[in-house]
Chains A and B, each alone.
Chain A
Amino acid sequence: MSDFFQFLISGIAVGSIYALAALGFVLIYKSSRVINFAHGQLIAIGAFIAYALAAWLKLPIALALLAAVLATGLLGFVVERVFLKRLVGQPIISVIMVTIGLASVLDGLMYLTPFGSGNFSYPAFLPQEPLRLAGITVSYPQLLAVGFTALFLLLFGWFFQRSTLGISMRAVADDQMASMSVGVSVEKVFALAWAVAGVTAASAGMVVGTVSGLNQDSLIAIGLAVFPAVILGGLDSIPGAVVGGITIGVLQNLAAGYLNRFVPGGGTELVIPFVVLLVVLWFRPHGLFGTEEIERV
């Protein structure tokens, strides 16, 4: 039984990383219906900026993390202003294609830096000894992942449900023209969404870096790993991203723990989440918490 809880706890920790990575993705989709294929690159850039500040400039780690979060937020903002602003009002698919191009460009730029190959790790700042509670081990980086996710979930929950700006962002997602008719600046809303997406992406990148080290390819891959999580949770739902991320993480750990021994070669953890995803979409095509199109009859 303690095995089961160990798998569950590790699953929640891994799932929190997916959730954190998924938040920024959902944020952009929620306000502009754009699927951002460059999200993995934002995650990687955020993580590397933090590394550069901490390891090279010897900034205190907390300061380095904070500065990296802000810098990546600024990068998201600039990307929106420079590349996507002129596409407002154009078909969504054009914008999505631009994000694919953007992903390639950012990839290429990263290969030009020392981070293009090899592995890096942050200067140790958390206790190495894992926590042991009733036979279950939890590492401090895992706690960090859960903590960050919980923090952003609460912040976003308040922001989108209570604050006027958050409600306006949902309004823009719903009907751009109607939002303009009452003076909401659609451009400002998009720029803000990208800035905040950059902030969450950097946070996700830094948590991944703390848990498992920094490597460009694996950081970028997280941008794609969020797809099952966000589709499961519903593309435009913040709580959905968290529930979806944690569900996928837990399923992966349970599959690896219990099923792999029956399958020669193992690898069930890569398949099981998608099986569950298919079953869920069968019954709830909008995901667990996604918005259903309202049709009045």
Chain B
Amino acid sequence: MQPTHPEDLGPILLEVNNIEVVYKDIIQVLRGVSLKVPEGHITALLGPNGAGKTTTLRAISGLLVPEDGEVVSGSILYRGENIANKPPEAIVLKGIVQVPEGRRVFKHLTVEENLRVGAATRRDREVRQDLERIYHYFPKLAMLKNRLAGYCSGGEQQMLAIGRALLARPRLLLLDEPSLGLAPLLVREIFDIVAQINAEEGVSVLVVEQNARVALSVAHYGYIMESGRIALEGSRAYLEENPDVKEFYLGVAKSGGRKSFKDVKSYRRRKRFM
């Protein structure tokens, strides 16, 4: 039987309950978002531009604060504790690390220095081993370890940003649009490595993507967000079979063949998911 609730996959690691987020005290971006991330699995958060996906991730990681945003209602429970509006460094220590959109590597630091910043909050002595593990998953980074990150390609920077986050030893890794601006083959490679890390290291992943096809290829469970709300959720198989998801996010029309953009637009106006 197909899992129809995130609970069917495993214990819930993170539970976002009906949160509303407001920027600069006035601009409301999220209108009651709820979602659950099962431990040890990959959860995808999909949706069009401006739906509030990035804001949802930032609310979880605490990175709303530098953007002057705030969770004004609802709760974010991580292993039973409400972490809404906590500072990002406290949330990293609890085990949630976000890879920011657009990679944001430290351009003037070498690849290895970037990775070491990832481990800056750690007090244990296993950083060296963890560095080797990252080089094992991303052999390209091992070859580039002394290069300035600013001179690495987009794909290498994305791998570096993920590696840097992993060095903080997250229990939950948040990925924001890892496919942004990358060639399809590279996107495939990066998602495969993420799936491999999830399977071998047991790191839970919540990935925000516009590219629904590639995200659903590795995710176990998915949410679709529109205009600041969750519009649809389900297991990967359920979402892949859903006719609306097929049409709007996977680009497959009901009749086969592509519809003209104009038709899609008018159809969208008549019927969204809600």
Residues on A lying within 8 angstroms of B by beta carbon are: 89, 164-165, 167-168, 170-171, 173-185, 291, 294, 296
Contact = CB atoms under 8 A, between A and B. Distances in A.
A296 B164 CA distance: 21
11 contacts: A89-B68, A165-B120, A171-B106, A171-B113, A173-B108, A175-B105, A178-B106, A180-B62, A181-B104, A184-B120, A294-B151
B97 A175 contact: no
A169 to B, nearest CB: 10
Contacts of A165: 120
A182 B62 CA distance: 11
Contact of B66 (A89, A164, A184): A89
Contact of A178 (B62, B92, B104, B116): B104
A291 B99 CA distance: 25
Report whether over half of chain B's contact residues are helix, strand or loop; otherwise say mixed. mixed
A293 B109 CA distance: 12
Contacts of A291: 108
Contacts of B121: 182-184
B6 to A, nearest CB: 25
Report whether over half of chain A's contact residues are helix, strand or loop; otherwise say mixed. helix
Contacts of A185: 89
A174 B63 contact: no
Contacts of A164: 116-117, 119-120
B120 A182 contact: yes
Nearest to B62: A180
Interface of B: 61-63, 66, 68, 88-89, 91-93, 97-100, 104-109, 113-114, 116-121, 148, 150-151, 164-165, 167-168
Contacts of A173: 108
A182 B92 contact: yes
B108 A294 contact: yes
A182 B104 contact: no
Contacts of A177: 63, 66, 100, 104
Contacts, number: 91
A173 B107 CA distance: 10
A207 to B, nearest CB: 31
A89 B120 CA distance: 22
A65 to B, nearest CB: 33
A58 B13 CA distance: 63
In the A-B complex, the 7 residue pairs with the smallest Cβ-Cβ separation, listed nearest first, are A183-B92, A294-B150, A178-B104, A183-B121, A174-B106, A171-B117, A180-B88
A176 B116 CA distance: 16
Given A294-B151, A296-B150, A296-B151, A182 B164 contact: yes
Contacts of A294: 107-108, 148, 150-151
A18 B148 CA distance: 30
Given A165-B120, A177-B63, A183 B97 contact: yes
A176 B66 contact: yes
B133 to A, nearest CB: 16
A159 to B, nearest CB: 13
Contact of A175 (B92, B99, B104, B119): B104
B116 to A, nearest CB: 6
A182 B116 contact: no
A186 to B, nearest CB: 8
Given A164-B117, A164-B120, A177-B100, 13 more contacts: A164-B116, A167-B113, A167-B120, A173-B108, A174-B109, A178-B105, A179-B106, A179-B117, A180-B62, A180-B89, A182-B120, A183-B120, A184-B89
B99 A181 contact: yes
